[in-house]
Structure 1
Amino acid sequence: MLDANMKAQLKAYLEKVSRPFELVASLDDGAKSKELRALLQDIASLSPHITVREDGQDSRRPSFSLQRPDADMHLTFAGIPMGHEFTSLILALLQTGGHPPKLSEEKIAQIKAIDGEFAFETYFSLSCQNCPDVVQALNVMAVLNPNIKHVAIDGALFQKEVEEREVMSVPSIYLNGELFGQGRMGVDEILAKIDTGAAKREAEKLASKDPFDVLIVGGGPAGAAAAIYAARKGIRTGVAAERFGGQVLDTMAIENFISVQETEGPKLARQLEEHVKQYQVDIMNLQRASALVPAVEPGGFHEIKFDNGASLKAKSIIISTGARWRELNVPGETEYKNKGVAYCPHCDGPLFKGKRVAVVGGGNSGIEAAIDLAGLVAHVTVLEFADTLKADEVLQRKLRSLPNVKVITSAQTTEVLGDGKKVTGLVYKDRQSEQSHTVELEGVFVQIGLLPNSEWVKGTLKTSKFGEIEIDNRGETNIPGVFAAGDVTTIPYKQIVIAMGEGSRSALSAFDYLIRH
């Protein structure tokens, strides 16, 4: 199952295993069960602490659970965790085998203290870059607390189950049989939902913090760069982010980050956070800003208020809250979100295998999505509002070579249709003839650009007609001491490398502001 190179790498990791445990497999006579048997045998051959049993009684086959004789734990993989989930498998092996998780002592204690019965099920796809965060978070919680059970399920392998539960987006997380959440979540997000006192404790912790010299709101590439540049100046620096990494977490292949030929968004996001943590920066995650209260007088403290009721003060502020996927804003889109309407082809594409889908948007992201989906689904219809596609010619040539793709230009999407449970079609208007047409399909992937996350400062800071925060050549807004950087601003060309440069500039400008005031 594993080649020699992978075995060598895995053997090095498994040397950290110090406690014996078993891999208990539930198999049948199918080809996938044979693959899983080979994988488990390979793993067991690489560590004297790991043994394999094949007498598992799980109804999902193939599957396997990790069981330790000295601990009551419930952790199961239904499927073969390769692809993006191979890292999840390695971490589960290490943590079950006694290697400590990379969590603070405070977080570990919080997980262990949770009382109740929590049976989690996570549906993932092997091509989903968002899924491993959820799987790894729930796995480590299951290792630490016997009250928490977790089954990670490959949706592509258990199609009947996916259809019965009408899972049309991954990761989809169920708790005790009911839908718990969809999309990327980490340990902090999950704890915030199941530990009822967590939000109040976090708000109290924030309220007790002393004012910062510079407070960065947002933890994407711009925010991370700003934090590093500010901290290197020796000033008190804080980062409050809704999710550290920002939009980069939702990006698959990155091939234009100078000096790095190829990487993936989640990997880059982890590296950004690790770099920031090399300095004395107070990182406050899961903090959604709700208002900016400017200083009453020059040199005073600005204040940022958050959704949880907490607030933080600082002598200078850098806003780097980034952008999010733009929505169609047509009837049916909200109703059928995660029920056929999707925004991440890499994550959700495998769930539409053999089905008909549409991609709305003819820019680079839309055409890349159509090319990826064409290898999975029965047919792709690309709808572009303009009279020509806007994607690079190299992408258009690739698209034209695919037999199961149809491109419709001058098409204005007007409605998403459904049967009350899932998407059944899409309506578009031909902008030249003004006639409406219906396309029967099961999935709609929206790829129409970005919307700045600036609603919370409108009326306080000057913004463009597109909602972008207006800044000068130093990154300063219309309020002295308040700066902005990255995709949330009027700077053109929304790129990772540009956002990092803008974040660096804003930090240098903030430092200059501080020493002058």
Structure 2
Amino acid sequence: MLDQNIKTQLKAYLERLESPIELVAALDDSDKAAKIKELVTEIAELSNQVTARFDGQNTRRPSFGIAKAGEQPRVFFAGLPMGHEFTSLILALLQTSGYAPKVSDEILNQIKGLNLKADFDVFVSLSCHNCPDVVQALNLIAIYNPNSTATMIDGAFFQDEVEERKIMAVPMVFQNGNHIGQGRMTLEEIVAKLDSNAAEKDAAAINAKDVFDVLVVGAGPAGGTAAIYAARKGIRTGMIAERFGGQVMDTMDIENFTSVQKTVGPKFAADMEAHVREYDVDIMNLQRVSKIVGADQTASGLVEVELENGAKVESKTVILSTGARWRKMGVPGEQEYATRGVAYCPHCDGPLFKGKKVAVIGGGNSGVEAAIDLAGIVEHVTLVEFDTKLRADQVLQDKLNSLPNATIITNALSTEVIGDGAQVTGLKYKDRATDTEHTIELAGIFVQIGLLPNTDFLKGSVELSPRGEIIINERNETNVKGVFAAGDCTTVPYKQIIIATGEGAKASLSAFDYIIRHG
């Protein structure tokens, strides 16, 4: 099951165990159970601190749990935690033994204070780069809440359950059988969802903060770079972040960032966050801004930032770096069937449509790349493009055209997502040349039609372009005194990571210059 290189690495990790642990497998007669038994046995052979048992009583079979010796398991893996989930397995082994997690004392105390009695299930696919964060968060919550359990369920292992529960997007989280969330979620987000008093405590803490010199709104490449440049000047720097990494978290291969030959979005975002945290930056995570008031409109001469939780922050300057989000089709049925056949991440949700027919909306690089990836998983993929031709790079078009299970439809206007009330069953589109309507029978629709700037909350306060982008000059200044902007939310062309980082640096330097000149 595990090659020698992985065994060597895992053996080194197991030397850090704080106390003996047991792997308790609940098996059946399936080939999948044999693989789980093999994995559990191999792990136990790597450390005299690990014991394997095969008398588990878990009703979901095959699976295995992890427990301190003498205790009942609270962390379970229903499937083989390989691929992206191998890290989840390692952390579960260590943390169950008592190894301290790498989280702040504040968040750890918040987890312990939940006093939960709950059973969490999280459905994943092993190719999903967003799933491990959710799995690891729920495992940690179960470890520190003795009356709770957390189970990772590989959708490929339990396809019947996936079909029965209509799981068409991952990660998908259930608490005591009730759906409580899906998609990428951080530990802080999950804890905040479970802690009913989190919003009030956050608002009180934020209201008590002193005035900032530079306050960055957004934590993507532009925001992260802006915060680093400001903090290095030795001035009081704050950051309001809805989620660290921004759109980068939904990006897979990154091969055009100078000096980094190849990386993936989640690792890039994690490295960026670690870089920001090297400096004295006051990070206010999981917060959304609702209103900005410029320095020339306040009695204090400071920029005022109001959050959705009611808290207010003041700063000499503000840098808006709110990034962008996936553009939606805006047709009937899209919202109704989101996560039930309508998806936006082919890497995460593609494996759930194995052997089925799907469509990709969009003929740019993202759309064609998605169609190519999906063609290796699904029965058939149809790419639907509004324009009369695809806009992707020619090398991608050539690859797509070579695939036997891919169809390309151009000059087509998607008009409706069709479903049976539970899940997607088809897509309606209109041939723009003839005005005739057509219907494609399929199980999934992957929308890849570009981005929209996250600037809705700025309407009426900061000048926006017709596309909703923040209008800035060459110094990243907006039309509002003391307010700057950078990255994909602005009118700067070419939405690229490396451009966003450069713009973040430029905005931060401009803000510092503003502070010097205005006192």
Smaller-chain TM-score range? over 0.9
Partner of 1:413: 414
Instruction: Within 5 Å, give how 1:199-238 maps onto structure 2.
Output: 199-238=199-238
Residues 504-513 or 42-51, more deviating: 42-51
Distance 2:232 2:379 in 1: 53
Preserved contact between residue 20 and residue 97 of structure 2 (Cα < 8 Å): yes
Please list the CA deviations of residues 206-241 of structure 1 after superposition, one character each: whole Å capped at 9, or x if unmatched: 000001000000000100000000000000000101
Preserved contact between residue 17 and residue 49 of structure 1 (Cα < 8 Å): yes
Distance 1:56 1:71 in 2: 12
Equivalent position SS for 2:488: helix
Distance 1:166 1:492 in 2: 40
Equivalent position SS for 1:487: coil
Partner of 2:286: 286
Preserved contact between residue 469 and residue 490 of structure 1 (Cα < 8 Å): yes
Q: CA deviation at 1:29?
A: 2.7
Instruction: Within 5 Å, give how 1:452-467 maps onto structure 2.
Output: 452-467=453-468
Instruction: Within 5 Å, give how 1:119-130 maps onto structure 2.
Output: 119-130=119-130
Equivalent residue letter for 2:281 = V
Is the aligned partner of 1:247 residue 2:252? no
Residues 164-173 or 290-299, more deviating: 290-299
Preserved contact between residue 213 and residue 315 of structure 1 (Cα < 8 Å): yes
Partner of 1:317: 318
Equivalent position SS for 1:305: strand
Q: CA deviation at 1:33?
A: 1.9
Partner of 2:184: 184
Equivalent position SS for 1:403: coil
TM-score where L is the length of structure 2:
0.98
Residues 413-422 or 246-255, more deviating: 246-255
Partner of 1:303: 304
Distance 2:213 2:190 in 1: 31
Instruction: Within 5 Å, give how 1:386-405 maps onto structure 2.
Output: 386-405=387-406
Partner of 2:138: 138
Q: CA deviation at 1:28?
A: 2.3
Preserved contact between residue 477 and residue 483 of structure 1 (Cα < 8 Å): yes
Equivalent position SS for 2:51: strand
Distance 1:275 1:119 in 2: 36
Equivalent position SS for 1:490: coil
Residues 45-54 or 33-42, more deviating: 33-42
Distance 1:454 1:111 in 2: 33
Preserved contact between residue 372 and residue 400 of structure 2 (Cα < 8 Å): yes
Q: CA deviation at 1:177?
A: 0.7
Distance 1:225 1:147 in 2: 42
Preserved contact between residue 22 and residue 51 of structure 1 (Cα < 8 Å): yes
Distance 2:89 2:471 in 1: 46
Instruction: Within 5 Å, give how 1:423-502 maps onto structure 2.
Output: 423-502=424-503
Instruction: Within 5 Å, give how 1:30-429 maps onto structure 2.
Output: 30-69=30-69, 74-295=74-295, 296=297, 300-429=301-430
Equivalent residue letter for 1:479 = V
TM-score where L is the length of structure 1:
0.98
Q: CA deviation at 1:148?
A: 2.3
Equivalent residue letter for 1:251 = T
Q: CA deviation at 1:73?
A: 5.2
Preserved contact between residue 215 and residue 240 of structure 1 (Cα < 8 Å): yes
Residues 168-177 or 100-109, more deviating: 100-109
Distance 2:465 2:106 in 1: 43
Distance 2:434 2:90 in 1: 57
Assess, with a 3 A threshold, how the Cα gap between structure 1 residues 299 and 114 changes in structure 2: closer, same or farther: closer
Q: CA deviation at 1:72?
A: 5.8
Q: CA deviation at 1:61?
A: 2.3
Question: Identity across aligned pairs (percent)?
Answer: 61
Preserved contact between residue 356 and residue 378 of structure 1 (Cα < 8 Å): yes
Distance 2:248 2:70 in 1: 40
Distance 1:126 1:281 in 2: 34
Q: CA deviation at 1:141?
A: 0.9
Partner of 1:15: 15
Distance 1:61 1:400 in 2: 42
Please list the CA deviations of residues 370-408 of structure 1 after superposition, one character each: whole Å capped at 9, or x if unmatched: 011001111000000000000111111111111000000
Q: CA deviation at 1:298?
A: 9.7
Q: CA deviation at 1:193?
A: 1.4
Q: CA deviation at 1:328?
A: 0.3
Unaligned runs of 5+ in 1: none
Preserved contact between residue 65 and residue 73 of structure 2 (Cα < 8 Å): no
Distance 1:398 1:241 in 2: 39
Equivalent residue letter for 1:405 = A
Question: What is the number of equivalent residue pairs in this alignment?
Answer: 517
Preserved contact between residue 72 and residue 146 of structure 1 (Cα < 8 Å): no
Assess, with a 3 A threshold, how the Cα gap between structure 1 residues 441 and 516 changes in structure 2: closer, same or farther: same
Preserved contact between residue 122 and residue 171 of structure 2 (Cα < 8 Å): yes
Distance 1:148 1:220 in 2: 34
Distance 1:12 1:257 in 2: 33
Q: CA deviation at 1:182?
A: 0.8
Distance 1:291 1:50 in 2: 54
Q: CA deviation at 1:116?
A: 3.8
Assess, with a 3 A threshold, how the Cα gap between structure 1 residues 299 and 233 changes in structure 2: closer, same or farther: farther
Assess, with a 3 A threshold, how the Cα gap between structure 1 residues 483 and 299 changes in structure 2: closer, same or farther: farther
Preserved contact between residue 291 and residue 456 of structure 1 (Cα < 8 Å): yes
Preserved contact between residue 323 and residue 452 of structure 1 (Cα < 8 Å): yes
